[in-house]
Structure 1
Amino acid sequence: MSSYEQPLYDCQTPSLDSTEQSVVESIDQDRMWDSVEKFSSLTRISGTGGERKAAEHLTTVLSDHAVSHTVHEPELYLSTPVSATVTATDRTECFKSAKTVAFSDNDSVSGEVIRLRADEEGDSVESLLDHSLNIDDVAVEDKVVVAESLIPIAEIRALAARGAAAFIAIHPHDREPHEGIISPVWGGAPTFEEKNEIPEIIVANISGDDGDKLDALIENNPSLSLTVSTTVDTRWVRCPLIEAEITPTQTATDEFVLLHGHYDSWHVGVTDNATGDAALLEAAIALSAHADQLTRTVRVCWWPGHSTGRYAGSTWYADTFANSLNENCLAHVNVDSPGVKDAVEFTSRVKWMTAAAPVAIGTITDVTGKQTETRRPSRAGDYSFNNIGIAGLSLQSSIEHSVREERGYHLVGGSGGHADAWHLSTDTLEKADPATLKRDADVYTIATYRLASATHCPLDYRLTIAEHQQTLETLKKGSSELGLEKEFSRLEETYSELAAKVNEIYEQENHSFRNLQPLARTLTRINYVTDKTFEQDPAVGRPPLPALAAIAHPPNDTDSKRFLAWGARRSYNALTYELRSVLAQLPAN
């Protein structure tokens, strides 16, 4: 069997109970593929007629199957790339693959080229966003900066702050650069205090082939001047946001599970995310047919504004329903890029918070027989609920690494690792597969069903505490160097007390999420964000226990070390206080 012919399942039959088997039998592969085919003819840029036609299809199918739903119409702050040109200023050469990006400046500039060499982008989505262009000692003012990259958000901000005229990214794709967005502001619209966080700089991307051509010009003329022009449509746009609700018929409850994905796209976006939208429809239909088995409501949402608004739709929802989410949402399940042709493994692109590991791993194994592993979610995708503290999981299948290498694929941020699909005009119908989509829809639906039908709390926060303790141990040496042994020990002891108490709770047969909710919110927040509960951290990577992360590598300079210690002591105090407050809220034996 060749690497292109690996099986979709590593088991003869799924290991499901009779109700779960009935749920997956309710998922109609042909009906699901009909939705994919419908979406494959629609360019679903948010704020356009194509997006509205997609919304009409979703609501029609929901109505046909008597699934209760609401269409919200939020106004979102979106930035749609229109066009870009990159030419030699003397007009001897034009780079025809040029595209601009969401939230680029809308202008034209000319300037001398400065060619930088970027660090390797690594093997994760965060590495695509956070890698260095090594600009610290480079004079970039009024220059057109050129580097191999996809979209280094932090470095683009630094270039703008230092007065660079423009940034041109040479993409690894030979023919067409990937679409993208440069603003770090989560949700598109900045708050009043954040309005200066959107970088003011012209950005254009060109293909790998055009990059080779540009490098040849630079080699022949080191003082080459380029003219870069961009047109970007940045404004407030009203968009449909669809929310279906499946309420248990046998149980009264305020608790719910949020199942979601974006339905806007770059181009026709078949694998990103027409397949996900079809899977969400089938999940809603199947779960509605089994509402008598649910103990929690399931909300199913289709987001606009994901692509051109940095997850604007899910951010609007997080803001608008913040208190309900905080009080009652058990978990969120993000459906993105299922059903990619040849996506046979569940190791490269899966991501979930540790508490969700039993549900995620158990579901993938039981439905597919495939092996998987826990991967930390990056600060990307529609994980717009981190600041509230809601555990999230995304069960993305992927093309095997060996196959991607064999095909010459470079690292991309979705589409199952398909580098000729993600954020490209070639993300078309042949990149997806109906049988793969059926398997992936089964996985997402059963994971949601297990979360929404459990009589106890199906998330295991003992695992989260253990994860925090492991992270804390990596900070022991740095804490000692900074003279923070006492603060370290106090937090370490607090985690030990918390672990003992939470173990007692989980030993009770019907441990409830309601009793664990304060713990769940706090553990998730302090492990993923640094801003407040009802704010949004920027789209920049966050290490585990981010408030303490700098302690791992104290600076050598005496003053810098003492400054770090000054702030780290406050962080230790804050985390200890938060955890001891949670400890006091946990139920007595």
Structure 2
Amino acid sequence: MSQQVANSAALSDIETRVVDDISVDEPWSLLEEFSELERVSGTEDEVRAAEYITEQLDEFGVKYDRYDPELYISQPHDASVRTLNREFEFGPVKTISFAASTTVSGKVEYVGSAGTDLLSQEDDAREPYTDVGDLNDKIALTAAGSLSIRATRILEEKGAIGVIAIHEHDREPHNGIATPIWGGAPRLDEADKIPNIPIVNVRKPDGAQLREWADSEEGLKVELETDLTTDWMECPVVVAEIEGSGDTDEFVLLHGHYDSWYVGITDNATGDAGLLELARVINNYGDELDRNLRVAWWPGHSTGRYAGSTWYADEFAHDLVENCVAQVNMDSPGAKGATEYADMSCWTPEAHALVGDAINDVTGAPYGENHPFRAGDYSFDNIGLTGFFMLSSNIPADVREENGWHPVGGCGGNSDAWHVSTDTLDKAGKEELVRDIRVYAVSLLRVLNADVLPFDHVRNADRLIEIVEEYDKEAGEAFDFGPTLAELYPLRDDIESFQEAAHDGDVTPAVANDTITGLARILTRLNLVRRTQFEQDPAVKREPFPRYSPARKFAFLEGDDRKFLQVQLKREQNGVIHELRQARDLLPEA
């Protein structure tokens, strides 16, 4: 396939050769194979998909390991809603992973929405449904749609015996997952966070009718029935290794999920095809790489809340801490009509120039920086890995609006594909897929072969300063973040001096790279993570610098709650200052 590179003069010799070697043939063959496989984790179709990947790796001469860990998976099978005091014919009804498998009946109460949308970067500081009262023995009807992850627990705590979520899709509701437990399997002391009530999703027209009846004088009574299997299941994890020529254990982790809802072509067969093509092509250049490339295909993304990548983060935690210089996620590339990288791609601040230059050089397309979502297979945030991509290219917003598509978190923004039965082969574009694979290839090579890692932690520090200044302003007299800023301002300047010295050759590459990676372990964690390095934050939306984000609650807290938050933030600030001083100690002396 002939496709013009926007700025070929900016590509190095190896980048040019790799880009030229990328073809649509092997990727499209995988899509055709996967278009016949419903790759739900724990099923034979998923195993067949893993075997296809390993067969191709064998053919390409790429070394790999296959693991078969037991993952905690929840497979939805069937669901129904039956009106008890009305006559109604429902369209498609679905339950979601980790809902309870049971039957309940009761009166329906409409509770509104959770108050945020899928792509929002800011949570309401208040909990959802603050104006909803006692729901004992009632079934909650909510317009939260796929936001039931955060909403369900609150409705359950208010006494709801079941939840009906109204989705924006007119034809069928999206598939989804209810648990906030990242990785599916909880710690023993968090097992109660898995929902204990049935949850069903209905399409928008059906939801509108249910709401009308629920709000009427007569009211609405329904019976919910859900059927799921939630259990430990063996699921293949495939990890390929392309060894560079350098005498180093350093590696870049390129990864994506291969399980799916239905046949899931643009979520994520296109990503699987891209991973395989990059493994095929880059394997031919191993003797020209300074670092190693690890390529991984995860199961358990959809029905296990990123269970495969979480298992890997747990199993290889110290290898990742000590040797992984970056993680790169490949999810939903190559959607037909995706022409820009504006509102779905994301990266940590220090990777901005790297990613932006790669997009510019390969495509010349518009792009925008997004704070990394607490989603995808970003199961390595707590470790403190620089990360880039997750989603990649997107269909422009005006085209999505023209098509009447509501916001979704994948498939290039095509809501008629994301987590529904119509994510089929026709949703992928050959030119779009090759272009996206090339963007990944160039950005990867610029890390794999960098003398000094191309990550700008001045930008990371600037972002942290911006966030803390914002929280300090919002907290007002209730809390003083000045001590944090007093550490960040000089740290930022010291990082700038270090980076200038490293790029001028006044710091050896080995020392510079150890410092850059060490800074990521601290600054990237502060930007993204609330918990400790070897724990997983819950799968709910996050704001930047999440340890400090509760400061936004001062706007409505009073009395003891206000003082309790002051105690919390005082302790958080003590920890943050300690970590910032550790970051300062990483910097080599001038």
User: CA distance change for structure 1 residues 75 and 315 in 2, over 3 Å: closer, same or farther?
Assistant: same
Deviations 1:6-31 (A, max 9, x none): xx979375742221010112212112
Q: Any idea what SS the aligned residue of 1:331 has?
A: strand
Mapped partners of 2:560, 2:208: distance in 1: 46
Distance 1:472 1:218, change over 3 A: closer
Question: Which residue of the partner structure matches residue 489 of structure 1?
Answer: 482
Residue 206 of structure 1, CA deviation: 0.8
Corresponding residue of 1:532:
532
Deviations 1:209-266 (A, max 9, x none): 2223334544666321100000011000001100000111x31111110000000000
| Cα drift, residue 557 of structure 1 | 2.1
Alignment correspondent of 1:46: 41
CA–CA separation in structure 2 for the residues paired with 1:408 and 1:282: 33
Residue 573 of structure 2: aligned partner: 572
Aligned mate of 1:107, from 102, 105, 117: 102
The 5 Å alignment of 1:279-298 reads 279-298=274-293
Q: Report the residue type matching 2:575 in the other structure.
A: A
In structure 2, how many angstroms separate the alpha carbons of the residues matched to 1:377 and 1:129? 18
Q: Which amino acid is 1:431 matched to? A: K
Partner SS, residue 399 of structure 1: coil
- For residues 164-563 of structure 1, the aligned pairs below 5 Å read 164-218=160-214, 222-248=218-244, 250-394=245-389, 396-478=392-474, 480-482=476-478, 484=480, 488-507=481-500, 508-509=502-503, 511=509, 512-555=512-555, 557-563=558-564
SS for the counterpart of 2:339 is strand
Report how many residues are paired. Answer: 579
3-state DSSP of counterpart to 1:475 = helix
Closer, same or farther in 2 for the Cα pair 1:549/1:131, shift >3 Å? closer
In 2 relative to 1, CA 565–9 (structure 1 residues): closer, same or farther, beyond 3 Å? farther
**What does residue range 103-142 of structure 1 map to in structure 2 within 5 Å?**
103-118=98-113, 121-122=116-117, 124=119, 134-142=129-137
Q: Compared with structure 1, are the counterparts of its residues 129 and 452 closer, same or farther at alpha carbon in structure 2 (3 Å cutoff)?
A: farther
1:4 corresponding residue in structure 2: none
User: d(CA) in 1 for partners of 2:388 and 2:90?
Assistant: 41
SS of 1:498's equivalent?
helix
C-alpha distance after superposition, 1:463-514 (max 9, x if no partner): 1011111112113334550253xxx333222112322221222112354321
Q: Compute the displacement of 1:314 (Å).
A: 0.3
Q: Point out the more displaced range, 534-543 or 14-23.
A: 14-23
What's the RMSD between the two structures over aligned residues?
2.1
The CA distance in 2 between the partners of 1:519 and 1:39, in whole Å, is 40
* Distance of 1:49 and 1:130 partners within structure 2: 43
- Distance in 2 separating the partners of 1:131 and 1:412: 23
Q: Which has the higher mean CA deviation after the structures are superposed, 406-415 or 114-123?
A: 114-123
Question: Using the alignment, how far apart are the partners of 1:553 and 1:252 within structure 2?
Answer: 50
Distance, in Å, in 2 between the alignment partners of 1:420 and 1:131 is 32
Give the Cα–Cα distance (whole angstroms) in 2 for the partners of residues 293 and 503 of structure 1: 31
Once residues 101 and 117 of structure 2 are traced to their aligned partners in structure 1, the CA distance between those partners, rounded to angstroms, is 31
SS of 2:18's equivalent in the other structure is helix
Amino acid at match of 2:344: R
Q: What is the distance in 2 between the residues matched to 1:216 and 1:489?
A: 51
Instruction: Give the match's secondary structure for 2:17.
Output: helix
Distance in 1 (CA, whole Å) between partners of 2:275 and 2:84 is 49
Q: CA deviation at 1:295?
A: 1.2
CA distance in structure 2 between the partners assigned to 1:552 and 1:178 by the alignment? 32
Tell me whether 169-178 or 113-122 shows the greater mean CA deviation: 113-122
Question: Quick one: which amino acid aligns to residue 201 of structure 1?
Answer: I
Specify the alignment match of 2:64 in structure 1. Answer: 69
Give the alignment's TM-score, normalised by structure 1.
0.94
Distance 2:240 2:527 in 1: 30
Displacement, 1:301?
0.2
Residues 40 and 428, structure 1, Cα contact 8 Å, conserved in 2:
yes
| One-letter amino acid matched to 2:56 | V
Q: Please report how far the alpha carbon of residue 170 of structure 1 lies from its aligned counterpart in structure 2 after TM superposition.
A: 1.2
SS of 1:546's partner is: coil
Does structure 2 retain, via aligned residues, the 8 Å contact 1:86–1:94?
no
Moved more, 567-576 or 113-122: 113-122
- Give the residue type in structure 2 aligned to 1:514: D
Q: Residues 312 and 373 (structure 1 numbering): CA distance in 2 closer, same or farther, change over 3 Å?
A: same
Q: What letter is aligned with 1:496?
A: Y
| Contact 1:129–1:154 (Cα < 8 Å) also in 2 | no
Tell me which amino acid in the other structure corresponds to 1:174. Answer: D
Q: 1:127 to 1:234 in 2, by over 3 A?
A: farther
Question: In 1, Cα distance between the equivalents of 2:9 and 2:133?
Answer: 57
List alignment gaps of at least 5 residues for structure 2: none
Query: Alignment partner for residue 15 of structure 2, among 11, 20, 35?
Result: 20
CA contact (8 A) 2:258 2:299 kept: yes
Distance 2:490 2:526 in 1: 17
TM-score, normalised via structure 2 length: 0.94
